[in-house]
Amino acid sequence: MAIDPKTPQPPGLVFAHRTYGRSHMVHADCFQWLRQVPDNSIDAVVTDPPYGVREYETRELEQRPCGKTGIWRIPPSFDGNSRAPLPRFTALDDGERKTVQHFFHEWVTILLPKLKPGAHVFVACNAFMSQLVFSSLMEGGLEFRTQIIRLIQTLRGGNRPKLGEQEFPDVCSLPRGSYEPWGLFRKPLPKGVTLRQCLRDHGTGGLRRRMDGKPFFDVIPSERTPRRERHIANHPSLKPQSLMRQLVWSALPLGKGTVLDPFMGSGSTIAAAEAVGYRSIGVERHSDYYELAGEAVPKLHALPSHGLTGKLPPHNRQAQLELEAGVPVDPVAHHLVVTSAIDAGCDRAPAGG
């Protein structure tokens, strides 16, 4: 992030935070935290936002086969108001749709001015909610670029009609879910500014090619999050490092800058950034997950770099050498973390993994 280190420090505005390698983890509500961030300062966002928590409650988990949860949630609280989330695949009424729209519209309204021109935003979703979520982000000013499809064969759906399995054995209520959509958005380039100029001026606007020199693809064959990763980070929506490292790698076209995850969860985005040699900032409001991320990020980061199609280029290896030599973390990013602060206490809702 290109933050002016001379920006005055507001009195009393200090969030709890910790540092690991080139990354910062902040215990805060991202809505409050983002309001303190200077405009035109965020290079990229990679995140799995919260949609609610009912499917993560013990009673719901016990009803799942093997105790596994679903993949989407609805905001349980926002602006001081509590709302009951719905089970997966339940149809939303008008009020519930407005709740989701309001949540994401408010978030993008705060986020948009903080992004550098051309900064990309990767948002995890699912087939049932994607149209609603993505349209809210576009209405808030982000430019929709494409969907990134994570091919994954472990999602639910495809069941026979409840209580009608014997009567209608050849019917399924919904298709078997076999993919997870990620919305790819971008802050619009200023009028008359080309991608080439945006890359020169801000280091943003494009996506980084894969390590083997091929373009970044919008379909990524994936896997269920490996058991060893789930043992490290016991978060209901934990994404595998093999996926996250590819997404994070592509987010900074020149390999420079800082990746932000405003809904850090257990820290999978932060661990992925460490693995590819990027700086990152993760913001998490839920105390339990903030503590979990502090423990999980070093362990997830240490896992083999599978899924990256090549070795880290020289300047990313240099980043690791700097760490080993004790070179301080970017003081600009540190300034942002330490001074962008309001009390981060109270009731926390789980974010994405």
CATH number of the domain that 93 lies in? 3.40.50.150
Confidence of residue 353 (pLDDT cuts 50, 70, 90): low
Place of tokens 């091919």: 151
Decide if 346 is inside a domain.
Answer: no
pLDDT value at residue 26: 95
Average pLDDT of the chain is 78
Decide if 11 is inside a domain.
Answer: no
pLDDT value at residue 347: 32
Higher local confidence (pLDDT), 277 or 333: 277
Residue 147 one-letter amino acid: Q
DSSP 3-state of 256: coil
Place of tokens 């149809």: 91
Is pLDDT of 88 > 70? no
Q: By mean pLDDT, which of 17-31, 290-304, 323-337 is the weakest?
A: 323-337
Q: Mind listing the pLDDT tens digit for each residue in 102-111?
A: 889 999 999 9
Decide if 33 is inside a domain.
Answer: yes
User: For residues 337 and 332, what is the distance between their CA atoms, to the nearest angstrom?
Assistant: 9
The answer to whether 256 and 281 are in contact (CB under 8 A) is no
Confidence of residue 101 (pLDDT cuts 50, 70, 90): confident
Element (H, E) at 338: helix 331-339
DSSP 3-state of 261: strand
The answer to whether 306 and 244 are in contact (CB under 8 A) is no
Most confident of 87-101, 119-133, 194-208: 194-208
Name the DSSP letter for residue 318.
Answer: H
Confidence of residue 306 (pLDDT cuts 50, 70, 90): low
Most confident of 113-117, 175-179, 306-310, 317-321: 113-117
Q: How many domains does one find in the chain?
A: 1
Sheet holding 16-20, edge to edge: 16-20, 23-27, 279-284, 258-261, 42-47, 115-124, 179-186, 143-151, 219-221
Q: Which of 183, 175, 182, 180 is nearest to 151 (CA)?
A: 180
User: For residues 253 and 43, what is the distance between their CA atoms, to the nearest angstrom?
Assistant: 10
Decide if 23 is inside a domain.
Answer: yes
Residues in the chain: 353
Place of tokens 């093997």: 66
User: For residues 292 and 198, what is the distance between their CA atoms, to the nearest angstrom?
Assistant: 37
Q: Mind listing the pLDDT tens digit for each residue in 4-23?
A: 334 333 333 468 899 999 99
Decide if 5 is inside a domain.
Answer: no
The answer to whether 30 and 283 are in contact (CB under 8 A) is yes
**Which domain range does residue 318 map to?**
16-339
Confidence of residue 346 (pLDDT cuts 50, 70, 90): very low
pLDDT value at residue 95: 76
Decide if 26 is inside a domain.
Answer: yes
pTM exceeding the 0.85 threshold for the entire prediction: no
User: For residues 179 and 24, what is the distance between their CA atoms, to the nearest angstrom?
Assistant: 31
Element (H, E) at 244: helix 241-251
Confidence of residue 307 (pLDDT cuts 50, 70, 90): low
DSSP 3-state of 272: helix
- Other residues' Cβ atoms within 10 Å of the Cβ of residue 28: 25
Q: Mind listing the pLDDT tens digit for each residue in 201-254?
A: 999 999 999 989 999 999 999 988 999 999 999 888 899 999 999 999 999 999
Decide if 35 is inside a domain.
Answer: yes
Decide if 344 is inside a domain.
Answer: no
CA angle 89/93/94 to nearest 5° reads 135
pLDDT value at residue 235: 85
Phi then psi dihedrals of residue 159, to 5 deg: -75, 155
Q: What is the mean pLDDT of residues 267-294?
A: 95
- Other residues' Cβ atoms within 10 Å of the Cβ of residue 283: 28
Cα of first residue to Cα of last residue in the chain, in angstroms, is 23
Tokens of 298: 């070093």
pLDDT value at residue 100: 83
